[in-house]
Amino acid sequence: MVSTEYLAKEINFDDSNKKLLEDIINYGLNLGADFVEIFLENTDNISVLVEEDFITSVSPSFGKGAGIRIFKDKRDGFVSTNDLSKDGLIKSISQAVQMLDITETSSHNKFQGLEDLRNYSKRKNDWLKKVPSVDEIGEKLLLSTASLKKDPKVNIRKSSYARNWQQVLIASSDGTFAKDIRLHQTVGLNLIATDRQYRSSGSRRFGSSDNPNDLRNWDYENASNEVLESSMNMLYADYVEACQKPVVLANKFGGVIFHEACGHLLETTQIERGTTPFANKLNKKIAHEAVTAVDEGLSDNSFGSLSVDDEGMEPERSILIKDGILKKFISDRAGELRTGHKRTGSGRRQNYAYAAASRMRNTFIAKGDYTKEELINSISDGLYCKSMGGGSVGATGQFNFAVEEGYLIKNGKLTKPVKGATLIGEAKEVMPKISMCGNDLELAPGFCGSVSGSVNVTVGQPHIKVDSITIGGR
């Protein structure tokens, strides 16, 4: 029987309820589950939008809840709840057991109790007090949109800020007991410029993790100048003609194509679904020997970094591709159980309402030996993609991505700007064509949506050369 000592008491986010969590885990195991995981979350978020010279939206949000997951053999059941009393958690455990239709109670419960709390939040407890106030946020955003008025052709200006503060406590039947506080801040700039029939847009997003002063340190003048210059360069650009040519993809957010078209195919969730062409390619060549790709959660202040994942495992640096050879998959607990690929500290979720899944963190193509100029000089007729826009990706890696800012390459030199270009391809075909990697690796923040919701990630690469790719245009 479960003790009623805490029956009406809500769980705290510390080790004071260790015995309570052990009781709940034991309850689930005794009902017949092979494994029990409890993910507790407390959030304090805010978003602010500025349009032109006015603050048009301030949206705070708060949340608290638990995600309960059990495994039986290779099946899992997941239930989320806002009821953090012992009754609420017991009810959720029972529902998860019913989902899997477990009818036999266990007589082989080997749970030895939770470890001493691994507290990753000790230096983070005051972060929520240190982040900018709403007044400070609004003032900085208004300055940034005002800075976009330097050219009269700019007629739509927007800036936005979002902060996500998250406190988590993770307890599971393998003894895992961990606490963390996460802080992510991001700011974006958008503009539309017009002149008669001509029209262009520009956008940039900046962000970091674990840095309360990130917005205060943001150089909005430099950021607005970058967005403004890009949109002005594209305003009078000709439309590109559809063709197949070599391209040079810029660093930073240029890495979104690798993230979307290839990175997702290296998550064990894709192996489980049977949607990755790389499932049986471990230790085989899937890319040009110039390509080494990494996924890690360790880089200081990067948007996809974390002290501990949502399953209680510390992140690691995973070399996914080494000199063109597939070396590792991105794996979580379910992925290890169902595919045999060991966990990589990549079990992530948007919030307590989602079960964790194998997800990317900071994912990038590693730097090579060439300069940007050497890559461009190697092409007689091609396209330089300085800034990438939105796109779409199919289940098995087919993709198309818009080029927000592009320039023709003629005889090894950048020439006129062109717009309307779309890069079209398939991961397994394009990866062997990345023949040169630059020495200027940089990362860029973003948000990634998948089976466990939207999570903070970093994409990145140096400048890279793709020997041939389909370019959609007019």
**Per-residue confidence at 8, pLDDT binned at 50, 70, 90?**
very low
Percent of the chain at pLDDT exceeding 90 = 92
Question: Does an H or E element contain 258, and which?
Answer: helix 256-261
pLDDT (mean) for 445-464: 96
The 10s digit of each residue's pLDDT in 17-69 is 999 999 999 999 999 999 999 999 999 999 999 999 999 999 999 999 999 99
CATH code of 15-235, in short, is 3.30.2290.10
**Per-residue confidence at 391, pLDDT binned at 50, 70, 90?**
confident
pLDDT of residue 107: 67
pLDDT of residue 9: 58
Sequence-distant (≥ 6) Cβ neighbours of residue 212 within 8 angstroms: 127, 130, 131, 183
Are the CB atoms for 194 and 153 separated by under 8 Å? yes
* pLDDT above 90 for 5: no
How far is Cα 331 from Cα 357, in angstroms, rounded to an integer? 8
How far is Cα 22 from Cα 36, in angstroms, rounded to an integer? 10
Domain boundaries, the chain: 15-235, 238-472
Mean pLDDT of the chain: 94
* 108 compared with 146, residue with greater pLDDT: 146
The 10s digit of each residue's pLDDT in 176-235 is 999 999 999 999 999 999 999 999 999 999 999 999 999 999 999 999 999 999 999 999
Classify burial at 465, counting beta carbons within 10 Å of its beta carbon; exposed 0-12, middle 13-18, buried 19 or more: buried
Total-model pTM:
0.93
Classify burial at 168, counting beta carbons within 10 Å of its beta carbon; exposed 0-12, middle 13-18, buried 19 or more: buried
Query: Which of helix, strand or coil describes residue 380?
Result: coil
